A and B are shown apart, each in its own frame.
Chain A
Amino acid sequence: EPEVTQTPSHQVTQMGQEVILRCVPISNHLYFYWYRQILGQKVEFLVSFYNNEISEKSEIFDDQFSVERPDGSNFTLKIRSTKLEDSAMYFCASTLRTSGGADEQFFGPGTRLTVL
């Protein structure tokens, strides 16, 4: 069964450093998402991406964040200068389409980011 994959599973970084979180969505999916979950809190939407551009972004997704689909398979989230409060689990998700039905978003296993 196809699945969303994410690497690395755990990333430790120093405050102020740049990190890139990587995701490989399901191959025929067209819509991609990043969510984050701070420890003990709910899952929060960050950004959605379609047709090589951002569709929507939340207030959390400020100028420190960027997303990219550098090739036909990877979908990345970059945090330019990490802060302590960026420590969280980051989930990638993808879906085939969003119109005309409640298409399920398939979630990856997450990357745990720890900022020291």
Chain B
Amino acid sequence: AQSVTQLGSHVSVSEGALVLLRCNYSSSVPPYLFWYVQYPNQGLQLLLKYTSAATLVKGINGFEAEFKKSETSFHLTKPSAHMSDAAEYFCAVRNINNDMRFGAGTRLTVKP
């Protein structure tokens, strides 16, 4: 089965600093990869997805992610963090059976 691993359960950055949230995948076939964001007491919102059309994927709220096959990675980045970016971020891979397999999540804290 496909799976993803998120490195770092908690990332803290200062407002305006670079955000880097790490995700590595394990897949026997070309993967479909996703990043979701969960704000406190809310559901999951799609940030972006990789569908093999382009290795650099741009999402909402200024986030982007780069698919690197050689590193089996799909790290999420944002050049300049805003206070409103504070949330839980989940990397996910679409499993061969079409359900989503999520990473453990990374909680992003943004300091003023």
Complex-state Cα separation, A102 to B50, whole angstroms: 8
Sorting the interface of chain A by its residue count into under 10, 10 to 19, 20 to 34 or 35 or more gives 20 to 34
Q: Name the CB-closest residue of A to B96.
A: A56
Q: Name the CB-closest residue of B to A50.
A: B98
Q: Name the CB-closest residue of B to A112.
A: B41
- Judged by a CB distance under 8 angstroms, whether A35 is at the interface is yes
* Interface bits B80-95 vs A (CB < 8 Å: 1, else 0): 0000000000101011
- Judged by a CB distance under 8 angstroms, whether A55 is at the interface is yes
B34 smallest CB distance to A (angstroms): 7
Q: Name the CB-closest residue of B to A3.
A: B43
A45 smallest CB distance to B (angstroms): 4
Complex-state Cα separation, A30 to B105, whole angstroms: 28
The answer on a CB contact under 8 Å between B98 and A44 is no
Cβ contact of B105, chosen from A42, A45, A93, cutoff 8 A: A42
- Judged by a CB distance under 8 angstroms, whether B46 is at the interface is yes
Residues from chain A with Cβ under 8 Å of B32 in the complex: 102
Complex-state Cα separation, A106 to B44, whole angstroms: 8
The answer on a CB contact under 8 Å between A91 and B43 is yes
Cβ contact of B94, chosen from A44, A58, A102, A109, cutoff 8 A: A102
Residues from chain B with Cβ under 8 Å of A107 in the complex: 36, 43-45
The answer on a CB contact under 8 Å between B43 and A43 is no
Residues from chain A with Cβ under 8 Å of B61 in the complex: none
Given contacts A31-B98, A55-B98, A56-B99, whether A104 and B104 have CB atoms under 8 Å apart is no
Q: Please name 20 further chain A to chain B contacts, defined as beta carbons within 8 Å, in addition to the given A43-B44, A104-B34, sorted by A numbering.
A: A31-B98, A42-B103, A42-B104, A43-B90, A43-B102, A44-B102, A45-B95, A45-B99, A55-B97, A55-B98, A56-B99, A91-B44, A98-B94, A101-B51, A104-B46, A104-B49, A107-B36, A107-B43, A109-B42, A110-B42
Q: List 7 A-B contacts (CB under 8 A).
A: A31-B98, A42-B103, A45-B100, A55-B97, A91-B44, A101-B51, A102-B34
